[in-house]
Structure 1
Amino acid sequence: MSRFWSPVVRDLTPYVPGEQPKIANLIKLNTNENPYPPSPKAVAAMQAELGEDGARLRLYPDPNADLLKQAVARRYGATPDQVFVGNGSDEVLAHAFLALLKHDAPILFPDITYSFYPVYCGLYDIDYETVPLAEDFTLNAADYAGRPNGGIIFPNPNAPTGRVLALDAIADIARANPDSVVVVDEAYIDFGGTTAIPLTRRFDNVLVIHTLSKSRSLAGLRVGYAIGHPALIEALERVKNSFNSYPLDRLAIAGAVAAIEDDAWFADCCRKVIATRETLTAELTQLGFEVLPSGANFVFARHLGRDAGELAKALRERSIIVRHFKLPRIDQFLRITVGTDAECTALTQALGDILA
């Protein structure tokens, strides 16, 4: 702590991102990265944008990223004024918290959810209340009805549980809260469940946020976007242009457009991840784990007879890392990213040895 810190910095509890260790021959199953490379068309588009001498990098990118907004709009049957783009979905979320969720009443989100949400609340001085998930970690839409609030946010599929909320239930939440914005964080929706984007045409209070980090294999590029009513998008634009007019660089825009347009590569990648997830779930179950139903590119599992922390430590000693959350209700669960078939086989073989 320094005497130069402002009070807001002094009181912050920052988000702790997934570990990025420098370990040789590491099997990295802790940060939900896609095990497969991005679309070759995206790579080619970025190389073309760079050019032979990189001269275009001396020029600022399009501050509005119009080509990307148009690509997203075409993909989901929206119009460009219904699309906002930012530097990863985390930046889009941050702008949504400030632009749409900072009101007098507290916002609502699940008690077990993306741990960045309370961090944003601390940064922007937003009151919040957590709504407990059910015993089986499902979200009950009725729990979000009849409660005064300044907004509602939740991931779907939820993180870190992976459980999916049906589209009808999301519609019920939006309908029960007509004067509040309902933000649906769909970082993992392409691996299971149905996107809530169609609800943005029925409800002017629904904002859906996506990322290219997971299903498009572009976590290193940092591109996210939101789709919603133009009035919601305008609020995000006002915050963005008061913070950073150029959040996406030229290479990110070019690569993101190509990735969104390459449906065949995207669909094949998702298919492989889903198939491996189902195999991994079956194998973990055979090893004595309880595995929650997952619609994401990870599984959330606990062993019925062994401590989660000890298992994570033993895996790490074998150069395999998974995510262990030392939090109430979930401290005996491990969140395991779906890797390649070979990586998941190495994981289950290591667990078999440890458990034996």
Structure 2
Amino acid sequence: MSRYWSQHVAGLTPYTPGEQPKIERLLKLNTNEHPYGPSPRALEAIRNGAGDELRLYPDNESTALRKAVAEYYGVAPEQVMPGNGSDEVLAHVFNALFRHGDRPLLMPDITYSFYKTYCKLFDIPAKLVPLADDFSICPDDYLNLSEQPAGIIFANPNAPTGMALELEQIERIARGNPDVAVVVDEAYVDFGAKTAISLIDRCPNIVVIHTFSKSRALAGMRVGYGVASREIVEGLLRVKDSFNSYPLDKLAIAAAVASMEDRDYFAAQTQKVVQAREYLSKELETIGFKVLPSKANFVFASHPGHDAAKLAAELRKQGVLVRHFQAPRIDQFLRITVGTREDCERLCNTLSEITQ
């Protein structure tokens, strides 16, 4: 521990992102990036924005983006909170909504691991709620609690399982905990689940988090946002503006707005990923894998006859990169990003050879 560090730094366990390899010709199926690329209109907006105006600060309120999101989902711009990727939005959510002394934040035991990292960073007690044996989230586990939590957070579809709750299940959780924020992280919602934004009018404690990194193929631009009641967004903006008044640059805002407006391209490319996911799931089952029902742009699969860590290592030797988590309950699963149809065929052919 350095003598220059603040006291809490040594106790932090930073989030470990998926590998960004430097090896050429590696089939990268480990970080859930979109295989087809951003909207051409988004790329054109970036090119058009790369001019002399970059010497000026961007709009600190990201007004154009907030309006575009609001129009898309039928909410008010004042209900939209922009950020530098959904992870930054989540950080502000943790800071603004979950710091309630000793009250614990409830989350599934298997979910996006950044939640536990933020709990450490912001000194928020975490209480892990086990998923069911089939890896689903049980709404009843978040109802009739013996103590009021600091809040509730879960990903829907969940990560890394890919499984999703129905809207009525989310509403049950929110209505059963009306005095705390219920945060629904919808990074993968566009690949088959339904957004909880439609519930916010009835359940003003719901906060929905979205990213442009997955279904809109703009991971390199770092754009995310939250949608909530005006009351909640006001608090989030107070925290944001106490941390960084300019989280989004001009090019990121322009690309994100153009992506939101290009609805036909978005729908077509999302459907291609969904079709490839269904193909991949069936092919993996043919090889002998158990595949959880996914509503995301990845699948979570295990093979009863082969160790997952060894499979991941052997795939890497063959030029295919997938994600393996050395964590309780899921250490025999691989999380595999859905690529193009050709990517899926290459992966499955390689796995067939390995598992013979």
Query: TM-score scaled to structure 1, two decimals?
Result: 0.98
SS at structure 1 position matched to 2:67? helix
Alignment of 1:5-16 (within 5 A): 5-16=5-16
Match of 2:80 among 78, 83, 88: 83
Matched residue, 1:311: 311
Q: Which residue of 1 aligns with 2:110?
A: 112
The answer for the alignment partner of 2:126 in structure 1 is 128
* Separation (CA, whole Å) in 1 of partners of 2:68 and 2:272: 25
1:239-290 deviation digits (Å, cap 9, x = unpaired): 1000000000000000100001111010011100000000000000000000
Q: CA deviation at 1:203?
A: 1.1
- Once residues 216 and 122 of structure 1 are traced to their aligned partners in structure 2, the CA distance between those partners, rounded to angstroms, is 30
**1:7 counterpart SS class:** coil
1:63 aligns with 2:76: no
User: What is the match of residue 279 of structure 1?
Assistant: 279
- Cα distance in 2 between the residues matched to 1:32 and 1:103: 33
CA distance in 1, matches of 2:109, 2:227: 25
Give 1:7 deviation, angstroms. 1.0
Partner residue, 1:242: 242
Match of 1:96 in 2: 93
Q: Distance in 1 between matches of 2:266 and 2:167?
A: 22
Q: Distance in 2 between the 1:114 and 1:101 partners?
A: 17
Unaligned runs of 5+ in 2: none
Q: Does 1:224 align with 2:224?
A: yes
SS at match of 1:135: coil
**Could you tell me the percent identity over the aligned residues?**
59
Displacement of 1:49 in angstroms is 1.3
Question: What corresponds to 1:338 in structure 2?
Answer: 338
Q: What one-letter code is carried by the residue in structure 1 that aligns with 2:120? A: G
Who is 2:263 aligned against?
263
Deviation at 1:24, TM superposition (A): 1.5
Task: Provide, for residues 72-121 of structure 1, a one-character-per-residue CA deviation record: whole Å limited to 9, x for no partner.
Answer: 00000000110000000000000000001111310100000000000000
After the TM superposition, which parts of structure 1 deviate over 2 Å for at least 4 consecutive aligned residues?
none
Number of residue pairs the alignment of both structures matches: 353
How far apart are the structure 1 equivalents of 2:137 and 2:80? 27
Residue aligning to 2:212:
212
Structure 1 residue 141 displacement after superposition: 0.4
Aligned to 2:69: 72
Matches within 5 A, 1:194-213: 194-213=194-213
Task: Give the distance between the partners of 1:138 and 1:10, measured in 2 at CA.
Answer: 34
Q: Work out the CA distance in 2 between the residues paired with 1:313 and 1:190.
A: 31
Whichever residue aligns with residue 74 of structure 1, its letter is E
- Aligned counterparts of 1:45 and 1:226: Cα–Cα separation in 2: 23
Instruction: Please give the alpha-carbon distance, in whole angstroms, between the structure 1 residues aligned to 2:299 and 2:269.
Output: 17
Measure, in 1, the Cα distance between the counterparts of 2:36 and 2:237.
Answer: 33
RMSD: 0.6
Aligned twin of 1:186: 186
Name the counterpart of 1:301. 301
1:10-53, Cα deviation, whole Å (9 max, x unpaired) = 11000001100111211000000000110000111111111xxx
SS of the equivalent of 1:183 reads strand
How does the TM-score come out when normalised to structure 2? 0.98
Aligned equivalents of 2:98 and 2:144: distance in 1? Answer: 18
Q: Where does residue 144 of structure 1 map in the other structure? A: 142
Q: Which amino acid aligns with 2:234?
A: E
Shift of 1:61: 0.1
Question: Secondary structure of the residue that 2:219 maps to in structure 1?
Answer: coil
Partner of 1:220, secondary structure, is helix
The answer to whether the aligner puts 1:37 opposite 2:37 as a matched pair is yes
